[in-house]
Amino acid sequence: MCRILLAFLRGSQKVASRKTRRLLDKSKTFHVTCGVTICVFSVLHVAAHLVNVLNFSVNYTEEFLALNAANYRGEDPRKLLFTTIPGLTGVLMVLVLFLMCTASTYAIRLSNYDIFWYTHNLFFVFYVLLLVHVSGGVLKYQTNLEEHPPGCFHPNTTLQEDIPVPGIFEEPFPEYAPEPFPAEPEPFVQNNVVRICTEEPKFQSHFPETWLWISGPLCLYCAERLYRYIRSYKPVTITSVISHPSNVLELRMRKENFKARPGQYIILHCPRVSALESHPFTLTMCPTDTKATFGVHLKIVGDWTERFRDVLLLRSSQDTEILPNFQQRNYPKLYIDGPFGSPSEESLNYEVSLCVAGGIGVTPFASILNTLLDDWQCYKLRRLYFIWVCREIQSFRWFADLLCMLHNKLWQENRPDYINIQLYLSQTDGIQKIIGEKYQVLNSRLLIGRPRWKLLFDEIAKCNRQKTVGVFCCGPNEISKVLHKLSNSSNSYGTRFEYNKESFS
């Protein structure tokens, strides 16, 4: 996928209509559909060739030597598969496709992303094999159709095959010379036109055209990879690393000429952690004209994030830590690739938006909130419903300060109704509070249990009659499914919910 190109096209000024931008967000679905289509047609193609290979061997005839890939009747079809260029490259392509396909399943992507990623890059090998595959010249066409029209009459062979003989040949045939074709051309009547068969059919391999179809997209992809490589060549300057509760690390960085829009994500590459792996993280703070610093929040979930935390911090952060813990040290070299686009970018372009976050899925919305904190008046957005569901009370502290600051700012600017914050603590054995007097505003917006989505949608529909509400979700898939379904269901207030699907795995 050409992510930079997609992010570029997605940029609000580049593509005018929201419909087109939402269509661009379906690029991953399109990518998957193309992959599945390639697999389905490959199965058909391979099945047809297997039957063909068998036919070459079983029905071998010396009549059309140029067309028959087998060398003699009963030749082992496996020999044709493994010793010819088209056969061998075909077998290898099937193998590559099988690996790519099986490793792309949801289960593998979730349990071992690296396997998915490395096998997916085999697409390059697939393309090279595809180019060689067609160079074998198995598919041929006849070059002398004029001299030897298909189906023309050749007494030596045609008669044996019991093909009806035109009237002019109904007389007994004279003795034929040993050579297959007489010196004088033989007339053949077809639709009252006499066709002359003057020579043996001649065949020639088709000119390979595959490169015409794949070179364009491949060049585009390579150009993008090169651009990405050059752009991410310079490391960032890490300005601070903050350890947050519930195993979350905040990283603030700077990089010359780095620009990003709220909702976008970057890909981190830290050679000291892994020479090959790169991991995506959504920007929680974007650089602006006045401040160059940008940041991400990472949840420590697996081997890469664990090792990354260890090289960044002198000691690992613990859940018990209440206050952010600033660490100063010699940071490792860190490279970033991106930014890349995401549907969350669109939330500022609706008059009313509903942003639902589950756990660390809050990150894209944190950058939206940070942007609104800078200036909310310049965007189309006039009402934001922000719903955040977490398992632990401490998790709300990742962005508690930001939420409080935005709330206070909007109150000072006489727009308290601009943002509707609802925080849900899904698992608790009693009433809890986000510790600290300064978070009083949030404590009053804290609810216990999971949100009741239907009620929430009804309430929003009632308050925003006849309007279009943009729905955004980032978090566990289950929330996303519920919201998608509710967005597509009708309501009695004429409110339209437009679901913007975000996909992470």
Ligand X SMILES: NC(=O)c1ccc[n+]([C@@H]2O[C@H](COP(=O)([O-])OP(=O)(O)OC[C@H]3O[C@@H](n4cnc5c(N)ncnc54)[C@H](OP(=O)(O)O)[C@@H]3O)[C@@H](O)[C@H]2O)c1
Which residue carries 């939420």 as its tokens?
403
The rounded distance, in Å, linking the Cα atoms of 133 and 123 is 15
Closest residue to ligand FAD, judged by C-beta, is 302
DSSP string, 3-64: HHHHHHHHSTTTS--HHHHHHHTTHHHHHHHHHHHHHHHHHHHHHHHHHHHHHHHHT--STT
Number of residues that bind ligand FAD (CB under 6 A): 21
Q: Does 341 bind ligand X (CB under 6 A)?
A: no
Residue 371 corresponds to which tokens in the numbers above? 């942007």
| Binding partner of 49, given ligand FAD, ligand X, none, CB within 5-8 angstroms per partner class | none
Q: Does 504 bind ligand X (CB under 6 A)?
A: yes
**Whole-angstrom distance between the N-terminal and C-terminal Cα of the chain?**
15
Contact 269, 117 (CB under 8 A): no
| Binding partner of 221, given ligand FAD, ligand X, none, CB within 5-8 angstroms per partner class | none
Least distance from C-beta 280 to ligand X, angstroms?
8
Q: Does 363 bind ligand X (CB under 6 A)?
A: yes
* Tally of residues, the chain: 505
Residue 191 corresponds to which tokens in the numbers above? 């639709």
| Binding partner of 109, given ligand FAD, ligand X, none, CB within 5-8 angstroms per partner class | ligand FAD
Partners of 294 in beta bridges: 253
In the set 45, 49, 279, 407, which binds ligand FAD (CB under 6 A)? Answer: 279
Residue spans of alpha helices (H) in 413-489: 440-443, 453-463, 477-488
* Residue 134: partners with Cβ closer than 8 Å, 6 or more residues away: 86, 208, 209, 210
Closest residue to ligand X, judged by C-beta, is 359
| Binding partner of 200, given ligand FAD, ligand X, none, CB within 5-8 angstroms per partner class | none
Q: Does 474 bind ligand X (CB under 6 A)?
A: yes
Of the two residues 28 and 234, which places its CB atom closer to ligand FAD in the complex?
28
* SS3 per residue for 203-257: EEECCCCHHHHHHHHHHHHHHHHHHHHHHCCCCCEEEEEEEECCCEEEEEEECCC
Least distance from C-beta 109 to ligand FAD, angstroms?
5
Q: Does 421 bind ligand X (CB under 6 A)?
A: no
Of the two residues 188 and 399, which places its CB atom closer to ligand FAD in the complex?
399
* Residue 101: partners with Cβ closer than 8 Å, 6 or more residues away: 35, 39
Residue 486 corresponds to which tokens in the numbers above? 């509710």
Of the two residues 255 and 297, which places its CB atom closer to ligand FAD in the complex?
297
248-267 footprint of ligand FAD as x/- string (CB under 6 A): -----------------x--
For residue 187, is the peptide bond before it cis, meaning its omega torsion is within 30 degrees of 0?
A: no
Contact 35, 120 (CB under 8 A): no
Q: Does 302 bind ligand X (CB under 6 A)?
A: no
Of the two residues 299 and 383, which places its CB atom closer to ligand FAD in the complex?
299
Q: Does 263 bind ligand X (CB under 6 A)?
A: no
111-150 footprint of ligand FAD as x/- string (CB under 6 A): --x-------------------------------------
| Binding partner of 21, given ligand FAD, ligand X, none, CB within 5-8 angstroms per partner class | none
274 three-state secondary structure: coil
Q: Does 487 bind ligand FAD (CB under 6 A)?
A: no
- The window from 8-16, 42-50, 292-300, 391-399 that contacts ligand FAD (CB under 6 A) reads 292-300
Q: Does 303 bind ligand FAD (CB under 6 A)?
A: yes
Residue 91 corresponds to which tokens in the numbers above? 């077998």
Indicate the angle between helix axes 3-10 and 210-231, nearest 10 degrees. Answer: 80
Contact 214, 128 (CB under 8 A): no
Q: Which of 24, 12, 14, 9 is nearest to 350 (CA)?
A: 12
Residue spans of alpha helices (H) in 112-209: 113-120, 123-134, 155-158
- The window from 57-65, 150-158, 203-211, 297-305 that contacts ligand FAD (CB under 6 A) reads 297-305
Which residue carries 């070179």 as its tokens?
215
In the set 318, 427, 440, 468, which binds ligand X (CB under 6 A)? Answer: 427
Q: Does 285 bind ligand X (CB under 6 A)?
A: no
- The window from 95-103, 204-212, 275-283, 400-408 that contacts ligand FAD (CB under 6 A) reads 275-283
| Binding partner of 302, given ligand X, ligand FAD, none, CB within 5-8 angstroms per partner class | ligand FAD
Residue 499 corresponds to which tokens in the numbers above? 């679901």
| Binding partner of 113, given ligand FAD, ligand X, none, CB within 5-8 angstroms per partner class | ligand FAD
Taking residue 461's Cβ as centre, other Cβ atoms within 10 Å add up to 20
377-416 footprint of ligand X as x/- string (CB under 6 A): ------------xxx-------------------------
Q: Which of 146, 141, 346 is nearest to 261 (CA)?
A: 346
Footprint of ligand X on residues 129-188 (CB under 6 A)?
Answer: none
| Binding partner of 479, given ligand FAD, ligand X, none, CB within 5-8 angstroms per partner class | ligand X
In the set 359, 370, 469, 498, which binds ligand X (CB under 6 A)? Answer: 359
Which stretches of the chain bind ligand FAD, using CB under 6 A? Answer: 109-110, 113, 265, 279-282, 296-299, 301-305, 360, 363, 504-505
Which stretches of the chain bind ligand X, using CB under 6 A? Answer: 282, 299, 358-361, 363-364, 389-391, 426-427, 450-451, 474-476, 478-479, 482, 504-505
